């Protein structure tokens, strides 16, 4: 047993932390947030370090890293919190392509995904009947003469704005689900951000969008949902690591503030009511942290991991949300001032709470998985 990072992971962690502190400081992120959000040039800074291709095997121009390697970086990005398509494109999108694409599709997509700048993928799954089960995919893809016509709307798509391609789940004529790689510039595709107390979500509309059948992932494959479910098992713990990183940073901010803010003639950290909030933070953080890294270890070593993955997402979503709540209790008025930056974490914690399934959803899945593994 060894719960420490490897030497190379420590190096990844150090360079990720350095990047976040240099390029994505709190002040920078607040400025970006008020000036139209994450820019492609920001994404390039991350991609230039090779991290867009971290999970892509060397034969396709990537780094061939493990899931834990990726999680180490996402943990640090979460401390920003650095928004942008690193998760959507470099993790969820990339792993889906690796899982389901034909060799030709891989050759065409992966090298471009690996450099980051030329293909940016945004998975579009949920619709107006919101949910993360297959039954909620209602958008139709009608086949005619070697092409599919896509009609409908995908809602709450993470990082759609700025994506070059959309990975779209739709119902085929058979009623099964196919995954389409849709160039965002295809006629009939329109993107718009969904504004509010959220980060990076958009709506993608498909108005009689005609897609050649070679863009169906796996060409002719009708098991798109299976591909996606398998991919999600690997991708979700990396998202959890991002939530853990965010929780860690917010905990540190709160501890520091409790030790510097003076009221009633003493630092507020002397008050047990305030201490309770900080203790709640560290408890939530550690629960999410160890559940997440254990799930990653199981995946990287080829063990059955479904129960661990669902537990990790339930805990990490809850942790990030509650850690931010506690931070607002500690920071009071300061916490709602934009320039202080706490709100960036808070709205990210809200956005990711339900992304790829909220705690309730994953707890249901957890019981199912325990049953399937013969634990129950």
Partner 1 sequence: MDFELKFTPELEGFRKKVQDWLKANIPDGMENPADPVDLTLEGYNKQRALGRKMAELGWLYPTYPKEYGGGGLSDDEAIIIETELDRYDQLLPPYYDSGGKLAAATIMVWGTDEQKRAFLPPILTGKVRSWQLLTEPDAGSDLANVKTTAIRDGDHYVVNGQKIFVGSAHGAEWSWMIANTSPNGKRHENLSWFVLPMDLPGVTWTHMDLIFAGNESGALSGYKNTVYLENVRIPAFNLVGGENNGWKVAGTHLELEHGLMQGSLNGDRTLQKVFKVCRDLKREGRHLLEHDDVREELADLYIDSELTRLLHLRNYWMRSAKKPMTYEGPQAYLHMKRAALRTSKSLHKILGPYALTLDKERGLEDGHIEVQQRGGIVAQHPGGTVEIQKVIIARRLGIGRAVKEQAGVLR
Chain residues binding partner 1 by CB under 8 A are 1-5, 68, 255, 258-259, 266-272, 274-276, 278-279, 282-283, 286-287, 290-291, 293-294, 296-298, 307, 311, 314-315, 360, 363-364, 366-367, 370-371, 375-376
In the complex, the smallest distance separating the C-beta of residue 12 from partner 1, rounded to whole angstroms, is 13
Do strands 140-144 and 147-158 pair parallel, antiparallel, or not at all (unpaired)? antiparallel
When the beta carbons of 10 and 207 are compared against partner 1, the nearer one is: 10
Residue 308 Cβ vs partner 1, minimum distance, rounded to whole Å: 8
Nearer to partner 1, 189 or 366 (CB): 366
Beta bridge partners of 210: 149
Measured from the CB of residue 290, what is the shortest distance to partner 1 in angstroms? 4
Helix axes 26-34, 342-354, angle to 10 degrees: 70
Measured between alpha carbons, how far is 325 from 331 in angstroms, rounded to an integer? 10
- CB under 8 Å to 131, separation ≥6 — which residues? none
Using CA atoms in the order 311, 65, 26, 119, what is the torsion angle rounded to 10 degrees?
-100
Q: How far apart are the first and last CA of the chain?
A: 27
Q: In angstroms, what is the minimal distance from the CB of 96 to partner 1?
A: 25
CA of residue 304 relative to chain centroid, distance? 22
Give the residue with the Cβ less far from partner 1, 204 or 314.
Answer: 314
Say if CB 59 and CB 111 are below 8 A apart. Answer: no
Sign of CA dihedral 309, 310, 316, 319: negative
Nearest to 274 by CA among 263, 290, 285, 287: 263
Task: Select from 108, 127, 115 the least CA-distant residue to 168.
Answer: 127
Of 104, 95, 190, the residue nearest 150 (C-alpha): 190
Give the residue with the Cβ less far from partner 1, 214 or 368.
368
Q: Please, what is the minimum distance in Å from the beta carbon of residue 288 to partner 1? A: 10
* Residue nearer to partner 1 on the CB measure, 52 or 306: 306
**Whether the bond into 81 is cis, omega within 30 of 0:** yes
CB-nearer residue toward partner 1: 99 or 280: 280
Q: What are phi and psi of 19, to 5 degrees?
A: -60, -45
Closest distance between partner 1 and the C-beta of residue 313, in Å? 11
CB of 375 to partner 1, least distance (A): 7
Nearer to partner 1 by C-beta: 45 or 363? 363
By beta-carbon proximity to partner 1, the closer residue of 143 and 270 is 270
Residue 283 neighbours by CB distance under 10 Å: 14
- State the nearest-atom distance from the C-beta of 255 to partner 1, in Å: 6
Pairing of strands 266-267, 189-193: unpaired
Shortest reach from residue 253's CB to partner 1, in Å: 13
Going through 66-173 in order, the beta strands assigned E by DSSP cover 121-124, 140-144, 147-158, 165-171
| 232 in Cβ contact with 239 (< 8 Å) | no
Which is nearer to partner 1, 39 or 260 (by Cβ)?
Answer: 260
């Amino acid at each position: 047993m060894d719960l420490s990072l490897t030497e190379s992971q420590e190096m990844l962690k150090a360079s990720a932390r350095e990047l976040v502190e240099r390029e994505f400081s709190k002040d920078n992120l607040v400025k970006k947030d008020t000036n139209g959000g994450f820019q492609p040039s920001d994404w390039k800074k991350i991609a230039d370090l090779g991290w867009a291709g971290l999970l892509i095997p060397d034969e396709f121009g990537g780094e061939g890293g493990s899931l834990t390697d990726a999680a180490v970086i996402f943990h640090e990005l979460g401390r920003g919190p650095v928004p942008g398509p690193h998760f959507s494109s470099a993790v969820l999108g990339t792993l889906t392509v690796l899982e389901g694409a034909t060799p030709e599709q891989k050759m065409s997509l992966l090298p471009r995904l690996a450099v980051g700048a030329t293909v940016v993928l945004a998975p579009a799954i949920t619709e107006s009947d919101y949910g993360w089960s297959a039954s909620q995919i209602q958008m139709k893809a009608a086949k005619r003469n070697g092409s599919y016509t896509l009609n409908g709307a995908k809602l709450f798509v993470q990082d759609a704005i700025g994506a070059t391609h959309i990975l779209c789940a739709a119902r085929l004529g058979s009623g099964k689900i196919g995954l389409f790689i849709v160039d965002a510039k295809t006629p009939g595709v329109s993107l718009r951000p969904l504004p509010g107390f959220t980060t990076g979500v958009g709506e993608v509309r498909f108005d009689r969008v005609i897609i050649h059948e070679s863009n169906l992932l796996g060409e002719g494959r009708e098991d798109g949902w299976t591909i996606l479910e398998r991919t999600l098992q690997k991708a979700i713990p990396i998202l959890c690591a991002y939530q853990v990183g965010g929780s860690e940073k917010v905990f540190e901010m709160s501890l520091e503030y409790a030790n510097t803010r003076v009221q009633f003639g003493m630092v507020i950290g002397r008050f047990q009511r305030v201490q309770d909030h900080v203790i709640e933070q560290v408890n939530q953080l550690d629960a999410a942290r160890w559940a997440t890294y254990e799930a990653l270890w199981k995946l990287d070593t080829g063990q059955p991991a479904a129960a661990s993955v669902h537990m990790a997402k339930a805990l990490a979503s809850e942790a990030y949300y509650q850690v931010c709540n506690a931070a607002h209790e500690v920071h009071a008025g300061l916490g709602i001032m934009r320039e202080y930056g706490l709100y960036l974490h808070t709205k990210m914690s809200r956005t990711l709470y339900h992304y790829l399934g909220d705690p309730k959803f994953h707890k249901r899945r957890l019981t199912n998985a325990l049953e399937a593994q013969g634990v129950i």
